[in-house]
């Protein structure tokens, strides 16, 4: 089941062209301490996680410091639903670390 | 050397919260828009020239490579940590230190983004005119070091025309901090080191502060958007405009099919009746309508089918006259993605090229590009700054398909030959980096000037004897 | 440390929601005390549903004040972790007390909304103790299973009470009911409209004597997620209030920083300060329409600046409240 979410995340995040256009409107990257606090960083960290990367300290900061405010989506040429990717990535983490059960709602989340 | 030791040493030198070896974080400082993945060992966030100097001393002593980064939007692979090394990210050095209207300069740290700088300047009625399409993200330091340009290039030139003086940290034993150039507009300080640094892609020295020239915002800009069924007619119009004792603020071109795709990608209701030409002329408000009429006449006389005009910048914005041009990148990515929609496991890459030819040869260049499209079978998107002859043809390809990658490479080779054969150049504003080292050699070779590469190599050695700054790039 | 902090805080909110129905320990009575003297019907197919976010925010503010201390204090963190099991009793009584003033503001805002709806001749009932929390925070944090459980509870309550349509009062609850519940709950058949949508078409025009000028702060979840930008403006204009637009407005609005206030208090504060600076450069009266925006922007405002919820402002201008 986890794999469904993972492959969806991988598919979405692979669209990223690393142009950084999304960063211009992101409030957290402006005041955060590095690129991981911006949408480009978040998307690429999720990509890294979906390829069996580790939930490092900064990976978690990147995921959980997002406001889900969606300003970034106004500028993304690849049309990635950035906040949704981040939310789903959080849910993947929750499944593995916060005892959230897996059997529910996978399709609902990524439809 | 191992990661944790580097982290420990650097933390001691400049402070713990300025150094990270977090694996996930290293990953996002190892990538670039070309799809490369490099090998950052550590990423460092200096907040002062002294920090930079200490990191350089350390790297010099321990033979560790240093890769400077602004926003890593380079399209030439310039910012990629190719070998294991320290990424030096300037994102925390982003202050605007001084704006002096009387001295016509702004004094900045390298990490400030170009649009943020312009936001501050605009409140005083001024601007920094170099405007790469990536200006909302690109940093001043990155733009200086890649020699960036933009839409206003025909009138205002590129980065090399706007840098007055630079504070530099040199890759020597002491991480020397020097200042090159002047605060004044005129400056004859022996050999022009400032110009040498502009476009040097972080291979010679690290830029830690910069004095940049500024200029007043025009009172307003009149805009005309025209469509020409015949390419020759469009180019004739450009030639005519360029001989009318005016210097257009913008003079942008999109090939017909590209314009159609771009318009469709943003649901524009503008009719695409041919190749697109976007003209902007900076004028006084009172003169607006006169210039609009005059420009309209020129365009129609040269065979424009549909002409839309606006008497001010605001009006043009409101009517969406810039939108098609601005959506070029969106359109490029969209068309590429759609093309591979049904291919499983496709890694769609965009190759955005950057040749320039003398404007008088633009028709030949466009014809040549159409030939290449037929020959290699890629849908080519084509737009550019016709005012200065800079074209950005682009193709999308599937990087996971070896055959296609090979074809893309061939397309690129042919494109370079085309630029050279038309007295043009292989890179106008994106830089050499990794992607165009061979192209540069071929260009110089064609001009019987390969000797220059040797000179460049020697310059590199003088600045960076241990080859620690961005090795493997440019030369 | 960060991982532990994160896991504990997220876990506390989840446990509390599942056990008490709300993500922070609080008095149940506070949920519906605002409706005390309004005599709203208890039954009827159209119900006002607050989703409790306005009522919760004063408690979240106190929680954040504690978390700001705990973030770098391991011992306290572990105490909180143990505390979550005794959550409602232990925490409510000892640690978490919402400011009285703050609770009152939330009450007044909700009251204003009800009075405005009444003035516009909208018939509606209220859920009182069944005015449950929507679970939106769990959804945002990716706790999908727990969210689903809460959503089912809310939906069952609606059905049990024969509700066909709910009128919501804040952007987050509106979004999650309109756009997320239908994805998670099969055959979700409750119509959802925000009070601003309802009022936008029904509010009567009223000239105001005072020439009031305000700057508007669009919440992300109305402006970007639901494309709702004209409705609040209509309601303000219909009441004779002049709306001035900040630089970042409508779909280009800038977030108040609120959603990360529990996990990244310092960062959240910086973002709020930046936004308040931008807004107050336009006008000293800032209008919000989301309890999270109100709370986070108020936290950093200076004395000269007034931040007021749209409903309260409009109700006052129209003479419905003092
Ligand atoms: C969609 C898109 C559109 C683009 N359009 C244009 C365009 O219209 N015109 C144009 O010219 N370019 C364009 N570019 C290319 C690129 O954005 C520009 O070259 C930009 O100026 C790079 O800025 P950066 O901050 O991202 O620099 P980086 O990519 O981070 O760095 C560029 C180079 O500068 C070096 N460097 C950075 N900071 C320093 C420093 N402080 N000291 C020493 N070396 C340093 C790096 O090592 C690297 O070699 C575009 C890119 C994208 C993705
Ligand atoms: S949704 Fe997250 S990544 Fe996007 S702009 Fe807002 S804070 Fe930044
Ligand atoms: S704008 Fe979209 S494609 Fe560009 S870096 Fe951000 S997420 Fe990636």
Residue B203 resides in a domain: yes
Find, among B80, B88, B95, B17, the residue nearest to B54 by Cα: B88
Same domain, C226 and C167: no
Q: How far is A41 from chain B (nearest CA, A)?
A: 6
Same domain, B259 and B321: yes
Same domain, C193 and C313: no
ipTM: 0.94
Residue B196 has pLDDT above 70, yes or no: yes
Same domain, C222 and C283: yes
Same domain, C149 and C228: no
- Residue-wise pLDDT tens digits, B371-384: 999 999 998 999 99
Same domain, B210 and B226: no
Task: Report the CATH number at residue B42.
Answer: 3.30.43.10
The neighbour count for residue C117, using CB atoms within 10 Å, is 23
- Residue-wise pLDDT tens digits, C118-177: 999 999 999 999 999 999 999 999 999 999 999 999 999 999 999 999 999 999 999 999
Is B13 in contact with B58 (CB distance < 8 Å)? yes
CB < 8 Å to B348, chain A = 15
Same domain, C59 and C112: yes
Nearby residues of C38 by Cβ (< 8 Å), 6 or more positions away = C111, C114, C115, C126
Residue B332 resides in a domain: no
Same domain, C218 and C96: no
Handedness of CA B225, B227, B228, B232 (dihedral sign): positive
- pLDDT-derived band at B343 (thresholds 50, 70, 90) equals confident
- Residue-wise pLDDT tens digits, C67-112: 777 666 666 667 666 666 555 555 555 566 788 899 999 999 999 9
Q: How far apart are CA B382 and CA B394, in angstroms?
A: 6
Residue C167 resides in a domain: yes
Residue C261 resides in a domain: yes
Same domain, B46 and B101: no
**Whose C-alpha lies nearest to ligand 2, atom 3?**
A39
Could you tell me the residue range of the domain that residue B21 belongs to? 3-91
SS (H, E, C) chain B: CCHHHHHHHHHHHHCHHHEECCHHHHHHCCECCCCCECCEEEEECCCCHHHHHHHHHHHHHHCCEEEEECCCCCCCCCCCCCCCEEEEEHHHCCCEEEEECCCCEEEECCCCEHHHHHHHHHCCCEECCCCCCCCCCCEHHHHHHHCCCCCCHHHHCCHHHCEEEEEEECCCCCCCEEEEECCCCCCCCCCCHHHHHCCCCCCCCEEEEEEEECEECCCEEEEEEEEECCHHHHHHHHHHHHCCCCCCCEEEEECHHHHHHHHHHCCCCCCCCCEEEEEEEEECHHHHHHHHHHHHHHHHHCCCCEEEEECCHHHHHHCCCCHHHHCHHHHHHHHHHHHCCCCCCCCEEEEECCEECCHHHHHHHHHHHHHHHHHHCCCCECEEECCCCEECCEEEEECCCHHHHHHHHHHHHHHHHHHHHCCCECCCCCCCCCCCHHHHHHHHHHCCCCHHHHHHHHHHHHHCCCCCECCCCCC
Is B203 in contact with B469 (CB distance < 8 Å)? yes
Is A49 in contact with A59 (CB distance < 8 Å)? yes
- pLDDT-derived band at B311 (thresholds 50, 70, 90) equals very high
Residue B470 resides in a domain: no
Average pLDDT over residues B344-356: 88
- Residue C268, SS3 per DSSP: helix
Same domain, C171 and C49: yes
Same domain, C115 and C245: no
Is C132 in contact with C154 (CB distance < 8 Å)? yes
Q: How far apart are CA A24 and CA B160, in angstroms?
A: 25
Average pLDDT over residues B135-156: 95
Residue A79 contacts C where some CB pair is shorter than 8 Å: no
Residue C279 resides in a domain: yes
Q: How many domains does chain B have?
A: 4
- Residue-wise pLDDT tens digits, C195-231: 999 999 999 998 877 789 999 999 999 999 999 999 9
- Residue C193, SS3 per DSSP: strand
CB < 8 Å to A30, chain C = 271, 274
Could you tell me the residue range of the domain that residue A65 belongs to? 2-110
Same domain, B207 and B238: no
Question: In a mutational test of the pocket of ligand 1, which residue from B44, B70, B81, B156 has the highest number of ligand atoms less than 8 Å from its CB?
Answer: B70
Find, among B31, B41, B37, the residue nearest to B73 by Cα: B31
Could you tell me the residue range of the domain that residue C244 belongs to? 204-317
Is the CB of A19 less than 8 angstroms away from the CB of B22?
no
Is the CB of A64 less than 8 angstroms away from the CB of C148?
no
Same domain, C208 and C243: yes
Is the CB of A23 less than 8 angstroms away from the CB of B71?
yes
Is B144 in contact with B207 (CB distance < 8 Å)? yes
Kind and range of the H or E element at C119? helix C100-119
Task: Report the CATH number at residue A37.
Answer: 1.10.1060.10
Average pLDDT over residues B262-268: 87
Q: How far is C143 from chain A (nearest CA, A)?
A: 6
Q: How far apart are CA B36 and CA B27, in angstroms?
A: 11
Query: What pLDDT does residue B27 have?
Result: 97
Name the residue facing A105 among C3, C145, C264 (closest C-beta): C145
- pLDDT-derived band at C273 (thresholds 50, 70, 90) equals very high
Query: What pLDDT does residue B80 have?
Result: 97
Query: What pLDDT does residue A105 have?
Result: 61
From the alpha carbon of A71, which atom of ligand 2 is closest? 5
Residue C322 resides in a domain: no
Residue B115 has pLDDT above 70, yes or no: yes
Find, among C243, C201, C249, the residue nearest to C223 by Cα: C249
Average pLDDT over residues B310-319: 94
Is B88 in contact with B68 (CB distance < 8 Å)? yes
Residue C92 resides in a domain: yes
- pLDDT-derived band at C12 (thresholds 50, 70, 90) equals confident
Residue C66 has pLDDT above 90, yes or no: no
- The CA radius of gyration of chain A, in Å to the nearest whole number, is 13
Nearby residues of B209 by Cβ (< 8 Å), 6 or more positions away = B49, B97, B107, B108, B109, B110, B166, B167
* Segments in chain A below pLDDT 70: 1-2, 102-108, 111
Q: How many domains does chain A have?
A: 1
Residue B114 resides in a domain: yes
Final residue of a structural domain among B62, B91, B120: B91
Cα B33 → chain centroid? 13
- Residue-wise pLDDT tens digits, C228-258: 999 999 999 999 999 999 999 999 999 999 9
Find, among C41, C40, C58, C167, the residue nearest to C102 by Cα: C58
B contact chains, 3+ CB pairs < 8 A: A
Final residue of a structural domain among C199, C224, C256: C199
Query: What pLDDT does residue A103 have?
Result: 56
Query: What pLDDT does residue C86 have?
Result: 56
Average pLDDT over residues B82-110: 97
- The CA radius of gyration of chain B, in Å to the nearest whole number, is 23
Same domain, C282 and C176: no
Kind and range of the H or E element at C47? strand C46-49
Same domain, B118 and B193: yes
Residue B105 resides in a domain: yes
Final residue of a structural domain among C182, C199, C216: C199
Burial label, C75 (beta-carbon count in 10 A; 0-12, 13-18, 19+): exposed
Average pLDDT over residues B281-286: 95
Query: What pLDDT does residue C239 have?
Result: 95
Name residues contacting ligand 2 (CB within 6 A): A 25-28, 39, 42, 66-72, 82-83
Task: Report the CATH number at residue B342.
Answer: 3.30.70.2740
Is C272 in contact with C293 (CB distance < 8 Å)? no
Residue A12 contacts B where some CB pair is shorter than 8 Å: no
Mean pLDDT of chain B: 95
Question: What would the two tokens of residue C161 be?
Answer: 């009470």
How many percent of chain B have pLDDT more than 70? 100
Final residue of a structural domain among C199, C232, C263: C199
Q: How far apart are CA B475 and CA C311, in angstroms?
A: 65
Q: How far is A19 from chain B (nearest CA, A)?
A: 6
Residue B317 resides in a domain: yes
**Helix A57-64 and helix A82-97, axial crossing angle in degrees, nearest 10:** 130
Average pLDDT over residues C268-283: 97
Same domain, B140 and B226: no
Is the CB of A17 less than 8 angstroms away from the CB of B20?
no
How many percent of chain B have pLDDT more than 90? 87
Name the residue facing C267 among A31, A71, A98 (closest C-beta): A31
Same domain, B41 and B104: no
Name the least confident of A22-26, B151-155, B436-440.
B151-155
Q: How far is A60 from chain B (nearest CA, A)?
A: 9
Is the CB of A53 less than 8 angstroms away from the CB of B22?
no
Q: How far apart are CA C47 and CA C194, in angstroms?
A: 11
Find, among A34, A32, A38, the residue nearest to A76 by Cα: A38
Same domain, C162 and C278: no
Query: What pLDDT does residue A67 have?
Result: 98
Residue C182 has pLDDT above 80, yes or no: yes
- Centroid of ligand 2 to alpha carbon of A84 (angstroms): 10
From the alpha carbon of B201, which atom of ligand 1 is closest? 49
Average pLDDT over residues C33-43: 93
């Amino acid at each position: 089941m986890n794999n469904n979410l993972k492959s969806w995340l991988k598919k979405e995040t692979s669209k990223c062209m690393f142009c950084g256009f999304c960063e211009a409107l992101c409030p957290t990257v402006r005041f955060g301490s590095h690129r991981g606090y911006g949408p480009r960083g978040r998307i690429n960290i999720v990509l890294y996680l979906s390829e069996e990367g580790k939930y490092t300290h900064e990976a978690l900061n990147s995921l959980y410091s997002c406001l889900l405010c969606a300003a970034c989506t106004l500028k993304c040429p690849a049309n990635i639903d950035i906040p949704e990717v981040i939310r789903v990535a959080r849910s993947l983490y929750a499944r593995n670390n916060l005892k959230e059960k897996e059997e529910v709602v996978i399709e609902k989340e990524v439809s | 050397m191992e990661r944790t030791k580097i982290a420990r040493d650097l933390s001691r030198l400049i402070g713990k919260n300025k150094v990270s070896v977090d694996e996930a974080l290293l990953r996002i400082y190892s990538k670039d828009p070309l799809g490369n993945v490099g090998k950052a060992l550590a990423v460092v966030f200096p907040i002062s020239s002294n920090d930079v100097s200490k990191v350089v001393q350390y790297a010099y002593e321990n033979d560790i490579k240093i890769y400077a980064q602004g926003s890593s939007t380079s399209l030439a692979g310039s910012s990629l940590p190719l070998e294991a090394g320290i990424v030096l990210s300037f994102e925390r050095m982003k202050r605007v230190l001084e704006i002096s209207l009387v001295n016509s300069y702004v004094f900045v740290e390298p990490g400030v983004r170009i649009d943020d700088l312009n936001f501050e300047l605009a409140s005083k009625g001024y601007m920094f005119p170099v405007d790469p399409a990536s200006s909302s993200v690109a940093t001043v330091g990155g733009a200086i070091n890649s020699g960036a340009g933009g839409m206003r290039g025909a009138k205002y030139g590129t980065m090399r025309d706007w840098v007055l003086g630079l504070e530099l940290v040199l890759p020597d034993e002491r991480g020397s901090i020097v200042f090159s150039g002047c605060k004044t507009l005129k400056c004859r300080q022996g050999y022009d080191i400032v110009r040498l640094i502009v476009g040097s892609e972080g291979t010679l020295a690290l830029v830690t502060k910069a004095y940049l020239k500024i200029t007043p915002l025009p009172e307003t800009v009149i805009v005309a958007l025209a469509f020409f069924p015949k390419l020759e007619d469009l180019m004739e119009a450009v030639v005519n405009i360029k001989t009318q004792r005016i210097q257009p603020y913008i003079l942008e071109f999109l090939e017909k099919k590209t314009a159609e795709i771009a318009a469709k990608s943003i649901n524009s209701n503008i009719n695409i009746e041919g190749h697109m030409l976007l003209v902007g002329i900076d004028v006084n408000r009172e003169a607006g309508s006169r210039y609009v009429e005059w420009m309209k006449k020129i365009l129609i006389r040269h065979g424009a089918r549909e002409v839309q005009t606006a008497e001010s910048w605001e009006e043009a914005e409101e009517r969406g006259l810039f939108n098609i041009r601005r959506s070029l990148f969106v359109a490029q990515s969209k068309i590429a993605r759609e093309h591979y929609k049904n291919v499983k496991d496709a890694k769609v890459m965009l190759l955005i090229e950057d040749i320039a030819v003398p404007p008088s040869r633009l028709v030949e260049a466009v014809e040549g590009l159409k030939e290449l499209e037929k020959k290699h079978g890629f849908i080519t998107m084509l737009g550019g700054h016709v005012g200065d002859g800079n074209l950005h043809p682009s193709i999308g390809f599937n990087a996971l398909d070896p055959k296609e990658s090979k074809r893309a490479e061939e397309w690129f080779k042919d494109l370079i030959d085309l630029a050279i054969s038309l007295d043009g150049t292989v890179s106008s504003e994106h830089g050499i980096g990794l992607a165009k080292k061979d192209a540069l050699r071929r260009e110089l070779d064609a001009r019987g000037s390969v000797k220059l590469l040797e000179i460049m190599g020697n310059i590199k050695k003088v600045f960076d004897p241990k080859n620690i700054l961005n090795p493997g790039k440019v030369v | 440390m960060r991982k532990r902090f994160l896991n504990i805080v997220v876990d506390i909110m989840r446990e509390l929601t599942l056990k008490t129905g709300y993500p922070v320990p609080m008095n149940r009575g506070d949920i519906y005390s605002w409706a005390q003297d309004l005599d709203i019907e208890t039954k009827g197919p159209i119900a006002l549903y607050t989703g409790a976010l306005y009522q919760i925010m004063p408690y979240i503010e106190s929680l954040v004040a504690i978390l700001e201390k705990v973030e770098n204090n391991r011992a306290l963190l572990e105490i909180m972790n143990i505390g979550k099991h005794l959550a409602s009793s232990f925490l409510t009584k000892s640690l978490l007390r919402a400011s009285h003033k703050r609770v009152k503001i939330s009450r007044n805002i909700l009251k204003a909304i009800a009075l405005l709806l009444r003035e516009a001749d909208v018939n509606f009932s209220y859920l009182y103790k069944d005015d449950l929390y929507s679970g939106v925070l769990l959804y945002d944090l990716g706790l999908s299973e727990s969210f689903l459980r809460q959503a089912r509870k809310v939906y069952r309550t609606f059905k049990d009470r024969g509700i066909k349509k709910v009128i919501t009062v804040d952007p987050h609850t509106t979004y999650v009911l309109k756009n997320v519940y239908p994805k998670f709950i099969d055959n979700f058949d409750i119509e959802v409209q925000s009070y601003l949508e309802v009022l936008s078409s029904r509010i009567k025009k009223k000239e105001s004597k005072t020439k009031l000028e305000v700057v508007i702060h669009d919440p992300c979840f109305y402006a970007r997620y639901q494309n709702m930008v004209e409705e609040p403006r209509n309601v303000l204009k219909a009441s004779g209030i002049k709306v001035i637009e900040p630089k970042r407005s409508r779909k280009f609005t800038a977030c108040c920083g609120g959603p990360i206030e529990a996990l990244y208090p310092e960062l959240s504060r910086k973002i709020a300060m930046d936004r308040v600076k931008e807004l107050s450069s336009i006008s000293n009266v800032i209008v919000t329409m989301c309890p999270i925006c109100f709370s986070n922007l108020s936290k950093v405002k200076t004395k000269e600046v007034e931040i007021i919820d749209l409903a309260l402002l409009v109700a006052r201008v129209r003479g419905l409240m003092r």
